[in-house]
Chain A
Amino acid sequence: MSSPDSGPLLAVDGLNKRFPIGGGLFRKPTDFIHAVDDVSFRMSAGESLGLVGESGCGKTTVGKLLVKLLEPTDGSITYRFATPAMDPHLAGPVETSNIRSRQLGAFRRQVQMIFQDPYESMNPRRTVYDTIAEPLVVQGIGHVQERLDRVSEILDLVGLTPAGTFLFRRPHELSGGQRQRVAIARALVIGPSFVVADEPTSMLDVSSRTAIMLLMQELAERLGIAYLYITHDLAVARYMCHRIAVMYLGKIVELADTEELLRNPLHPYTRALLSAVPSPDPTRRREPPDILGDLSLPVNPPQRCRFYDRCPLATDLCRREPHPPPEEKAPGHWVACHLA
């Protein structure tokens, strides 16, 4: 389960996103939500990284920053696409905040996103064909017959067969799992090299979850697509990803290869998440997660370790010192904790 080594596809450095709260047209906002706080990581082509954390910790915001639906407050996201010959606009490193309008189309052909809510991520008035062909239409790729053929092919690929019976359905005529297949088809139809999948199975019923996960994994492998898989479920990430990054209140607190992280979790938050993973043996009693209280809102957070308030191991040092920087404790195993 090692990732192909063709240099980093993606380098994220010191990424920050702060959302102002309050304020208005003529008033400066005074408070900020630090949704993403000094996040850095790298990804190689064809690799899959799981981004795991509780709801509200900033996972979706990271995803939207990566696909340039949001602009970072600070820091940089740099892609190095392997196919510059196809897209002269994308030769060399591409930093998302420097993309000019002419490059944007080419960028969108390489970087796509699958959204969390399959019920809301399709325009209810548009057909499956309209939704999947949208990237082709707005990018001016192909003419009608070519688009029809292409959409039919991709429908087959995501398992909506026979394609002809799905092409002109509207979202309300599809089940949740079918909608998410359409969402996957839309993301893949222009052949991206990187996809952000934002909790693609969290809104589905249990029966279709596994099928969608399998499909994603199979297609990504077959088409050589790297993906960031966002989930709040460590068990899902373990199943889907080469590496896992654990996020807490806007910070990545631990990042390692999947097996290493599961065998040797160093951050108390990761350990707590692991103890919450359901065991395959139903007779074994599940231990309560070893953390205190609830996730707080990252509004103007104090400088100290973000996890301090809930950490069962917190010491005086943790209160005094600023949030610990990530350190490489073992090869490729990064953790941000004073005590690890």
Chain B
Amino acid sequence: MGEGTSLFEDAPEIDLSRGRLDLALVRLRMAWRTLRDGWAVFVESRIGVLSLAIIAIFALMAFSHPILMATVWTPDVYDPVTGYAFDRFEHPSPPDWRHPLGTDSLGRDILSQLLFSTKSEFILGITAALVTVGIATTVGAVAAYYGGLVDSLLMRLADLIIALPGISLLIVLSALFNLNLFYLALIIGVLGGFGGTAIILKSQALSIRVKPYIEAARAAGGGHFHVIFVHIIPNLLPLSLLYMMFTVTGAIFAEAVLSFLGLLDIRMSWGIMIHTANTGGYLLAGANYWWLIVPAGASITLLCSAFYLVGRALDEVVNPRLRRHDR
């Protein structure tokens, strides 16, 4: 029996056939495998794939605008904000081959506006989603792990934010400050991150926190930081990803509402396109001036739904209970 023997003294020689394993490479390969397996589950959802395709089309639209401006569209006619269609005598004018979606009441090309705005919608949605999920994941993990006073304070804050009516609060804020797209994304992100999303991620973190592997990590000598960032947060990430999708939907929708009300300090967006139609008095006569409203309205609806539905399809990948057993 042991007289201070080394643990490995009498262990046989090991010959790892792969030689020196490059740990980083192995991890990369495993991450790739996880992604591939997740994708296999995701593609089983037709709606998920369709929604992803819609998002991809919008992304192409966002990329196409600068290319079109640099090649076939002359800026003085096609600029989404300052352009003017000299070739028409009356504005708004219905679609034709030079202006596939017609012009607005100020003589600007609608298609150009639509494409130009797509990029902003993505930036807004993704920034808001990253901020929300970054905050919510950390807040949820910390609140669940420490419990007690920290938890109580963070959760009361979340309750407070949920109790505030979101859009109305944004209206007040935008009236008080000049909100541009970036600040709007930040505010939506912070409100979501400390609000409802934090509560959802915390309840998930609570179920992770009581797992024996958390205790095993503590017994191994892992500190609080190690447990939170190595064990709790990685297990939250799938759910975080899901809520990123829902946040994108919320952010784009909020932007549309605020722009429609003329409360945002931004040059062009889908919401502003509808706002312009409204201030010109064309909204109520929508049937005759459909090209002023339908492209922007349909884009908002489509992109919002697409992100939401991708989220729902991801739910199936992420949520093991909805998944076939053991893949």
Contacts and interface: CB of A to CB of B under 8 A. Distances in A.
Interface of A: 4, 25, 46, 64, 67, 69, 82-83, 104-105, 108-109, 112-113, 115-117, 120-125, 127, 134-135, 138-139, 144-145, 148-150, 152-154, 156-157, 162-164, 167-168, 172, 183, 186, 188-189, 191, 221-225
Contacts of B165: none
Interface string B185-206: 0000000000000000000000
Contacts, number: 108
A225 B1 CA distance: 9
Given A25-B148, A153-B11, A138 B215 contact: no
Contacts of A191: 6-7
B237 to A, nearest CB: 9
B71 to A, nearest CB: 47
B14 A152 contact: yes
A152 B15 CA distance: 9
A127 B7 CA distance: 23
Contacts of B286: none
A113 B149 CA distance: 30
Contacts of B216: 113, 115, 121-122, 134, 183, 186
A87 to B, nearest CB: 12
A187 to B, nearest CB: 8
A115 B218 CA distance: 12
A156 B12 contact: yes
A150 B222 contact: no
Contacts of A162: 17
A167 B21 CA distance: 11
B287 to A, nearest CB: 54
Contacts of A225: 2
A241 B48 CA distance: 57
Contact of A120 (B212, B217, B223): B212
Nearest to B10: A222
Given A69-B218, A69-B219, A164-B17, A120 B211 contact: yes
A61 B80 CA distance: 69
Given A120-B212, A157-B8, A164-B18, 16 more contacts: A25-B148, A25-B149, A46-B1, A69-B215, A104-B221, A113-B216, A115-B212, A124-B235, A138-B222, A153-B8, A156-B12, A164-B17, A167-B21, A186-B220, A222-B2, A223-B5
B322 interface: no
A120 B211 CA distance: 6
Contacts of A148: 16, 21, 23
Nearest to B30: A168
B213 A172 contact: no
A303 B148 CA distance: 32
Contact of A82 (B4, B7, B20, B220): B4
A138 B212 contact: no
A25 B212 contact: no
Nearest to B211: A120
Given A125-B235, A134-B222, A25 B16 contact: no
B323 to A, nearest CB: 12
Contact of B14 (A116, A124, A156): A156
B26 A112 contact: no
B224 to A, nearest CB: 11
Interface in B4-53: 4-8, 10-12, 14, 16-18, 20-21, 23, 26, 30
Contacts of B223: 138
Contacts of B14: 149, 152-153, 156, 163
B212 A117 contact: yes
Listed from nearest, the 6 A-B pairs whose CB atoms lie closest are A224-B2, A108-B221, A135-B220, A191-B7, A121-B212, A138-B222
B234 A125 contact: yes
A64 B219 CA distance: 9
Interface in B219-244: 219-223, 226, 231, 234-235
Nearest to A152: B14
14 contacts: A25-B152, A64-B215, A69-B215, A69-B219, A109-B221, A120-B211, A123-B217, A135-B220, A144-B23, A148-B23, A153-B14, A168-B30, A188-B7, A222-B10
Nearest to B16: A164
Nearest to A25: B152
B3 interface: yes
Contacts of A139: 221
Nearest to A70: B215
Interface in B152-166: 152
Interface string B145-187: 0001100100000000000000000000000000000000000
Contacts of B16: 148, 152, 163-164
Contacts of B215: 64, 69, 115, 121
